[in-house]
Chains A and B, each alone.
Chain A
Amino acid sequence: MEKLTQLQQDQLLEYLDGNLNEIEKKKFEEAILKNSLLRSRLEEVQSIHTLLQFSKQDHPAKNFTDLVMANLTNYPAAYSSTSVRNGIFLLLGVLLAVGIGTVLLTEGIFDNTIATLDVGNASFFERIGQRAIPAIAINGKIVVNIIILLNLGLAWLVLDRAILRPLFRKRSEQMF
């Protein structure tokens, strides 16, 4: 089956929008008479064109202006420029903590820090007839590593939520 070219379809829309000059218009009207496919496509697109031409603006609530004026001062703090600055300070603080932790780790400060956590009171467990819970050895190096990892995750979150997102939102609003 024969198909319409993109050029023909574009010309059809230019015709509907009244953008063709007299010569082009006449030529296109002659083409419509000869080409039944173009004629039926014109009818389809014309019905859409007519429907859209009668589209109206939507109407907001009657108290719209009053609501806006009442909320003018309730501007969310998240949009304010200070939140980006606070985010940067928070990020620097978190990165500083990560830096200090890493330096202390490389210096070997926590290499021999092993604490024993004895949660089970042996005499108490003997009295109630249960086996005592063995003491747990905690390695300081592992704990600091976990803290550093958690801080890196926090830094990533702060960078995304408190710095980049507000910054991009602000840029999109201030395009002009």
Chain B
Amino acid sequence: MTNDPDFELIGRILAGNQALYAELVDKYKRYAYTITMRILQNRPEAEEAAQDTFIKAYHHLGSFNRTAKFSTWLYRIAFNTAISYKRKPRQQFQSIESTVIEYSHEGEGRLEKIDKKKYLNLAMSKLNDADRTALSLFYLQEFSLEEISAITGLPSNTVKVRIHRARLRLADELKVMLKSEALIL
């Protein structure tokens, strides 16, 4: 059994103190939202999927058997929820606010930063959901390969290979994009 500091809090929530669940939501909402956002690439949908994740997790808290960290279990639900949202028939629209990744690279020119971000987002959108999520989680530097493997449901060796391949593919995509952009200019 994993020694997770959240287990005590979960015990108190299960004992009937529903209000304490807000602490867990506050603690994990950013990562849960980041996962749904990376998969759905649409702010309103990602927000809804992330909320749905926490509601589902609350209702299944009793069945969480504590062999893994609560966060890993929660992010796995976030991943599955976002995937099921993506499979739902929906209107294809890209929110004007939708951005896949935000950067803060001090010292870079603003225009250059926006361009790089734009092209990286475009290249990222060409990856499949599991690769995009694995790559994003890997670079958020909070997750081990084993945790990413538990979240995406892929073996950790496969996750490692996918992260490698995804980066190489991103580099290729970016090269093609920048080459075609140079031709237009």
Q: Hey, which bits of chain A sit against chain B, CB under 8 A?
A: 9-10, 13, 41, 44-45, 47-61, 64-65, 67-69, 71-72, 74-75, 79, 169, 172-176
Contact = CB atoms under 8 A, between A and B. Distances in A.
A169 B37 CA distance: 20
A45 B168 contact: yes
Interface of B: 18-19, 21-22, 25-26, 29-31, 33-34, 37-38, 46-47, 50-51, 54-56, 58-60, 63-65, 67-68, 72-73, 76-77, 80, 84, 101-105, 116-117, 120, 135-136, 139-140, 150, 153, 164, 167-168, 170-171, 174-175
Closest 5 pairs (CB-CB, A-B): A60-B33, A52-B139, A44-B171, A55-B101, A58-B37
Contacts of A176: 64-65, 67-68, 72-73, 76, 150
B107 to A, nearest CB: 11
Contacts, number: 117
24 contacts: A44-B171, A44-B174, A44-B175, A45-B168, A48-B174, A51-B103, A51-B116, A51-B120, A52-B135, A53-B139, A55-B103, A57-B33, A58-B37, A58-B38, A64-B25, A64-B29, A65-B22, A68-B51, A69-B22, A71-B51, A79-B56, A173-B56, A174-B63, A175-B153
A57 B30 contact: yes
Contacts of B103: 51, 54-56
Contacts of A67: 51
Contacts of A60: 29-30, 33, 47, 50
Contacts of B72: 176
A59 B164 CA distance: 27
Contacts of B104: 54, 56
Contacts of B33: 57-60, 64
B139 A55 contact: yes
Contacts of A51: 103, 116-117, 120
A79 B52 CA distance: 11
Contact of A72 (B18, B38, B171): B18
B25 A69 contact: yes
A71 B174 contact: no
Contacts of B65: 176
Contacts of B116: 51
A55 B35 CA distance: 13
Contacts of A72: 18, 21, 55, 58
B167 A173 contact: no
Contacts of B117: 51
Most buried by A among B55, B58, B105, B136: B55
Nearest to A46: B171
B155 to A, nearest CB: 14
Contacts of A56: 101-104
A79 B47 CA distance: 19
Given A60-B50, A68-B51, A75-B59, 13 more contacts: A41-B171, A44-B175, A47-B174, A54-B103, A54-B104, A58-B38, A60-B33, A64-B47, A69-B19, A71-B51, A72-B58, A175-B76, A176-B72
B171 A48 contact: yes
